[in-house]
Amino acid sequence: MKNPLTKRLPRSLKSDFGKYAVIFIFITGMIAFVSGFLVASHSMRIAYDDSFTTYNIEDGNLEFTEKPSDEILDEIADGKLRFYENYYKEESLLEKDSTLRIFAKRTEIDLECLMSGAFPAADDEIAIDRLYAENNNFAVGDTLRISGHSYRITGLVALSDYSALFSSPADMMFDAIKFGVAIVTDDAFADIRDVHLHYSYSWKWNTPPANDKAKKDASDDLLDRVTDVLKANAEDEAEALVTEAIQNGQDPSAVKMPDFLSVNQYIPAYSNQAIIFTGTDISGDAMMFLVFLYILVAIIAFVMAITTSNTITQEATVIGTLRASGYTRGELIRHFMLLPAVITLIGAVIGNVLGYTLLKEHMAGIYYRSYCLTTYKTVWNADAFIETTVIPVILMLLINYLVIRSKMHLSPLRFMRGDLSTSKRKKAFKLNTKIPILHRFRLRVLFQNIPNYIVLLFGIFLADIILLFGVMFTPILNEMGDNITEHMIADYQYVLKTPEDTEISGAEQYNMTTLRTPADSVLEEDVSIYGFEPDSRYAPAMPEDPDSVIISNCYAEKHHVAVGDTVTLHEQYGDGVYSFRVSGIVYYPAGLAMFMEQKQFRNTFDLEDDAYTGYLSDEPLTDLTDDNIAAQITADDMTKVSRQLISSMGGIASGFKVFGVIMFVLMIYLLSKIIIERNSQAISMVKILGYSGGEINSLYVFATTVVVILGFVVSLPLCDRLMEVIIHVAMSRYPGWFEYHTQPKLLVCILLLGILSYAVVAVLLLHKIKRIPMSDALKSQE
């Protein structure tokens, strides 16, 4: 015979419909969101992984300072790989104050995916990256003006080797607003001026390395080979020049050596952020969302378990009778577990259906708003179903089982007597009798509901983190952008190809190069090394001791460098290793940097006494030859991280605000409702005794109010600190540094938001207290 107790489940559901409905909606919503996200990310991940073969993505690329000969390329390849010419030209798009990296349409490697429109077929046609186009409001049919030529946009594309628009491998973050990629026909490419031509070669291994370690070993060997070949080539060329000088009767020591062929950039695909960042992010996001879902389900499960535990207390005599009548403990445990499990299961199934149908495209949109992904097809993800259905249900069952089982272990007699206390205490702990009775009453309510409040505090903590992220995300990034702009070395920073004079006053020569931190440091990454004139007006700081250096706070914080330490850096594509003694740390939020005097810079890098890289200036140096400017660094370049993060995740951050508030309200309401329900008879009794509504509210809502406000006040700084730690740990995996600054006014904002949300809950609680009838006290219960 079917267990007749199951017949009461629909009635239990009906009698507490509001609570179950809220939990159901919350679980369904969460699972729909996560399921939609997992399906989208899984499908994206498959499309991304497939793109390596579909679009023949390179195994790495190498950029030379000039065009290498075929012999050199063959010597480097050594029969192990094949090089593909993949030149590009970078041009400014003045109307949008951004940079376009233009390639000739690829036919063999790093193929493009056409997202809409058509590939360029004529010399005045161009196809640009879809995301860059969206961010800059370009559409098919629009015309772009690039270095004197007009191009009609025929299509929007995704370049398979630029799924994340990193303009440089040293960048902390991609920039899909100020940086874009484009393709034109071969002829159109040839027509573009060569001023900003980059001699880039992609390669593919003839026999792909078997695993990650083999890939790294092969890439390291290749770099060694590149270095050796170029060194030998330079030596040969130098020797030829000397020989020629001798043959011409010249002094060989007076021969001025040219810049020999060297490498500007060497990036194996496995470390190319433009290629791998998207894949890593998709995988990381999926894990983050799952962990987030499980934490929330666990909290909801605890709320459910506490609710059920409360029901068991209220129905103790009935349970005792059923147990005495022969119902087993297991049958009753299963009975009480059934409703939460069914609600979770139905919520999970409906959530999955919603995730797969309604939300999947929205979730995919999140990725498309950040990454230049190729097209994807929805792929059924059995793992996602298990992760968002089976595991939440198991989690719900497990937590409920543990809580209910601990409640049900008492004997039937204890249940019948209503004696469910597990404490052996004979006395309540003492409270000073000088404390007024109402205060003691409130304290007793507080102590009585410690388990609820612990779950509540955990919920507040979690909601705080969500709110903190939602509220602080954009302002902190804005502040970061402002700080970087405010502390820029100069408004205009020029890197020249060859030295050139300027007549504009205020311009100052400087030197700059890039070195790498050691492989065994927090992260092997670039540090910008600057050399300034002794009386520089632009240097953020200058060392008093000319043999020492000043480093940026970002460098010091990330790599734990203190004043007095000696740091060792090395060249990326050379053998040079350099040590510097740090004599000061200066606030420079733009990134990892080191500052020294020009003289020391030139000595360190063995440069001529008058060598310089370019100019620093507060105004544009309009008299410089345009073709001689290798790079111009402006505030836009320095603030790309904050700009891109706001663009990619600003919308999500707003969503977090709403979600945090909903979760907060839900948690507090459900848990404090239990407190009211547990005390309904006592509340009824004090009503009979003649306590006023205000007095009763102050007794039973006050404790919750104190816990909520204290919880907020205590957890906010903790969350703030935790957020800083999380960001710093996360940043240890990426180049650069994110300076986390607490903004007290935002903490106050979150506190007020929390209090306001609680006020809504408090109104509901007061209403609930008001509705408790005095007849509750008349029910025969012990």
Partner 1 sequence: MFLEISNIKKGFGEGESRVEVLKGIDLSIEKGEICVLLGPSGSGKSTLLNIIGGIDAADSGYISINGEKTADMNERALTRYRRKHLGYIFQMYNLIPNLNIKENVEVGAYLSDHPLETDEILKTLGLYEHRHKLPNQLSGGQQQRTSIGRAIVKNPDILLCDEPTGALDYNTSKDILRLIEEVNKKYGCTVVMVTHNAAIANMADRVVKLRDGQIRKNYTNETKTPAAELDW
Minimum CB separation of residue 773 from partner 1 in Å reads 9
Single residue of 94, 240, 346, 689 touching partner 1 by CB under 8 A: 689
208 belongs to the binding site for partner 1 (CB under 8 A): no
Per-residue x/- marks for partner 1, 398-437, CB under 8 A?
Answer: --------------------xx-x---xxxx-x--x---x
Minimum CB separation of residue 441 from partner 1 in Å reads 6
Single residue of 693, 710, 725, 733 touching partner 1 by CB under 8 A: 693
Minimum CB separation of residue 685 from partner 1 in Å reads 5
* 255 CB-near residues (< 8 Å, 6+ apart): 241, 242, 245
Per-residue x/- marks for partner 1, 626-665, CB under 8 A?
Answer: ----------------------------------------
d(CA 65, CA 264): 6
Q: Which is nearer to partner 1, 2 or 430 (CB)?
A: 430
315 belongs to the binding site for partner 1 (CB under 8 A): no
Q: Which is nearer to partner 1, 193 or 417 (CB)?
A: 417
Label residue 137 left, alpha or beta by phi (over 0 means left) and psi (-120 to 50 means alpha).
Answer: left
φ, ψ of residue 296 in degrees (nearest 5): -65, -40
> In this structure, what DSSP letter does residue 504 have?
S
Minimum CB separation of residue 710 from partner 1 in Å reads 20
Q: Which is nearer to partner 1, 153 or 772 (CB)?
A: 772
CA dihedral of 758, 761, 767, 772, whole degrees rounded to 10: -110
Single residue of 438, 710, 713, 730 touching partner 1 by CB under 8 A: 438
688 belongs to the binding site for partner 1 (CB under 8 A): yes
Q: Which is nearer to partner 1, 427 or 767 (CB)?
A: 427
Minimum CB separation of residue 418 from partner 1 in Å reads 8
Match 């003006």 to its residue by tokens.
145
What is the 3-class SS of 446-461, one letter each residue?
Answer: HHHCHHHHHHHHHHHH
Size of the site for partner 1 (CB under 8 A): 36
Minimum CB separation of residue 677 from partner 1 in Å reads 14
The secondary structure element, H or E, covering residue 617 is: strand 614-617
* 620 CB-near residues (< 8 Å, 6+ apart): 492
d(CA 503, CA 507): 8
450 belongs to the binding site for partner 1 (CB under 8 A): no
* 420 CB-near residues (< 8 Å, 6+ apart): 312, 313, 316, 407, 410, 414
d(CA 208, CA 160): 19
φ, ψ of residue 359 in degrees (nearest 5): -95, -20
Q: Which is nearer to partner 1, 317 or 478 (CB)?
A: 317
Q: Which is nearer to partner 1, 25 or 438 (CB)?
A: 438
Three-state SS for 770?
helix
Residues within window 451-490 making contact with partner 1, judged by CB under 8 A: none
231 belongs to the binding site for partner 1 (CB under 8 A): no
- Judge whether 122 and 184 are in contact, CB under 8 Å: no
Minimum CB separation of residue 777 from partner 1 in Å reads 5
CA 734 vs. chain centroid, Å, equals 11
Q: Which is nearer to partner 1, 266 or 453 (CB)?
A: 453
Single residue of 448, 485, 654, 742 touching partner 1 by CB under 8 A: 448
Per-residue x/- marks for partner 1, 266-305, CB under 8 A?
Answer: ----------------------------------------
Q: Which is nearer to partner 1, 14 or 779 (CB)?
A: 779
| Cβ atoms within 10 Å of 187's Cβ, excluding its own | 10
End-to-end CA distance of the chain: 33
Single residue of 128, 156, 222, 777 touching partner 1 by CB under 8 A: 777
21 belongs to the binding site for partner 1 (CB under 8 A): no
d(CA 408, CA 399): 14
781 belongs to the binding site for partner 1 (CB under 8 A): yes
* 468 CB-near residues (< 8 Å, 6+ apart): 716, 719, 720, 723, 750
Three-state SS for 755?
helix
Single residue of 691, 698, 706, 766 touching partner 1 by CB under 8 A: 691
Single residue of 94, 386, 402, 774 touching partner 1 by CB under 8 A: 774
Single residue of 316, 507, 539, 686 touching partner 1 by CB under 8 A: 686
685 belongs to the binding site for partner 1 (CB under 8 A): yes
d(CA 268, CA 169): 11
Q: Tokens representing 393?
A: 């249900």
Q: Strand 593-597 and strand 526-532: pairing?
A: parallel
Task: Give which of 275, 97, 101 is closest to 181, Cα–Cα.
Answer: 101
Task: Give which of 744, 780, 737, 735 is closest to 167, Cα–Cα.
Answer: 735
253 belongs to the binding site for partner 1 (CB under 8 A): no
Chain residues binding partner 1 by CB under 8 A are 418-419, 421, 425-428, 430, 433, 437-438, 440-441, 444-445, 447-448, 679, 681-682, 685-693, 774-775, 777-778, 780-782
